[in-house]
Amino acid sequence: MKYFTTVVSTLASVGFVRAHVAAFTKGMYCLNGTEPGVENLNTNSVVNPLFQLPKNQWWMQHDRGCDSEQVAPSPGDFLELPAGGSFTVELASNRAQSTLSYDGKFTSEWPDGKDHPEDWHSPSPDTCLNANPDQAGGAMHTRNESTAAGTAFAISYNSDLSKVTMENLVVFTVLEQYVLRRDE
Ligand SMILES: *[C@@H]1O[C@H](CO)[C@@H](O)[C@H](O)[C@H]1NC(C)=O
Ligand SMILES: *[C@@H]1O[C@H](CO)[C@@H](O)[C@H](O)[C@H]1NC(C)=O
């Protein structure tokens, strides 16, 4: 499964991921995309790369407005992080490829919602997945599962997003090589 499930060692409220694959969950900012009041089932707002931007633009995805209270989670929508427990989010390249859209009919075991071989890998050691004839998987910038990037979740004991800083965020769980299929 492409779900991220992990043991939580503490309790808190802010998580973030940066890649061409993002963690989708009700409790996230920009779940509906960036237009307040409009539900975009096909949004990749939180997935688009943060590239060549000053910190005040990339921090909390300010460049696309995902730090705005106008695109905050609906009241009552939280990602619960029970102390000592586990939580699950869906790693996908687009909300459409998660169960949060279209009854999950565009999901698969992979973040792009397509089917791929168990040992999906690039044709040669110096190329990425998208060098294969189907050209798929380019967003992951990897050769295979063992060279794929990981995910980290961090928490900050602040309920005001603007008070969250690099200094008061603490990483509480990581998953190596999240972008490809989970092994479990
Ligand atoms: C997303 O859109 C749906 C449908 O309009 C709405 O019920 C929900 O509250 C919206 N969620 C957010 C976080 O804006
Ligand atoms: C993944 O790719 C790296 C780099 O090319 C290679 O060293 C490694 O053996 C590959 N792993 C698998 C499981 O194929």
The domain spans of the chain are 1-184
Atom of ligand 2 nearest to the CA of 143: 2
The answer, yes or no, to whether any atom of ligand 1 lies below 6 A from the CB of 31, is yes
Distance CA 167, CA 175 (A): 21
Whose tokens are 């990897």? That residue is 142
pLDDT in tens, 3-26: 444 444 322 223 333 348 889 999
pLDDT in tens, 73-120: 999 998 999 888 888 899 899 999 999 999 999 999 888 899 999 899
Report which secondary-structure segment, H or E, holds 58.
Answer: helix 55-58
Confidence (pLDDT) at 36: 93
Confidence (pLDDT) at 38: 96
Residue 95 and residue 42 in contact, taking contact as beta carbons nearer than 8 Å: yes
Whose tokens are 């990602």? That residue is 79
Atom of ligand 2 nearest to the CA of 144: 1
Report which secondary-structure segment, H or E, holds 87.
Answer: strand 86-92
Distance CA 94, CA 112 (A): 8
